[in-house]
Amino acid sequence: MTPGGGATCRHFHIGGECENCGNVVHIRRARRAKIAAQIERELPGLGDDERPRVLEERLREQAAIEVEDQVRRREQARAEKARHAEARTADQERAEREHAAAAAAETVRQALACEDCGQQQAGGLCEACGYQRRTEALIVEAGMVAATWSADLADQADIDAVAADVRASLAADIKRARRAFLDSAPPGELNADRIGAAAVLAFGALRMWRRRCRNSAAARWGAWD
Ligand SMILES: [Zn+2]
Ligand SMILES: [Zn+2]
């Protein structure tokens, strides 16, 4: 099977000697020899006139088995490919479903009103109230820091009293500053933006206060944090 003149062999090899065809010829010869030896072994008394017939018969059987094998392998490969395609489709569908669910959850989350002030579409907590909460947390922290400096640390009631005192005084300061900031707005301009700005300012002022506290505490004890 040496195709020439641009013809292709069954392996789509063009011109020259096809390695696969060469292999096929080699395999056929080897098989023929093997089956001939088998017949020799199994039927030693077979006459010379019978031998070629038996050989051809066995070769045909062998060829039929190989064709069946090939068909089965091809079908298995096709089924495997179909299974893979199915799994890939299922994966894609699951990813799309998860993406859609996440998007829906995010839409719902964004639509949630602010827990603190009820502002619509605030993602559960509006920016101003977020700052307000952080400010309140800072005030609590400030009360505890102040108590470690000036309270009698062996006296829980004293610690509580100092902390409460500092909390009350800071809260009042912030409320005053916030009021002043809001009052400085021209009438009619007291909108949500300005209220939000007041919350941010309060938080910023408190953070600065905390930094000062830490610096002076560090100076006093040589370390903090
Ligand atoms: Zn070939
Ligand atoms: Zn809010």
CA 212 to chain centre: 42
Q: Are 162 and 127 in contact (CB under 8 A)?
A: no
pLDDT 10s digits, 167-199 = 888 888 888 877 877 777 666 665 667 777 777
| C-alpha 28 – ligand 1 centre gap (Å) | 14
Give the environment of ion ligand 2: residues with CB less than 5 A.
Answer: 114, 116-117, 119, 126, 129
Among the bound ligands, the one closest to the CA of 131: 2
CA-to-CA distance for 79 and 62, rounded, in angstroms? Answer: 26
pLDDT by residue (tens digit) across 42-89?
Answer: 988 888 889 999 999 999 998 899 899 999 999 999 999 999 999 999
Write down the ipTM of this complex: 0.52
C-alpha 123 to ligand 2 mean position (Å): 10
Ligand nearest to the CA of 118: 2
Q: How far is CA 62 from CA 48, 68, 113, 224, in A?
A: 22, 10, 78, 88
CA 182 to chain centre: 45
Domain parsing of the chain, residue ranges:
43-111, 127-221
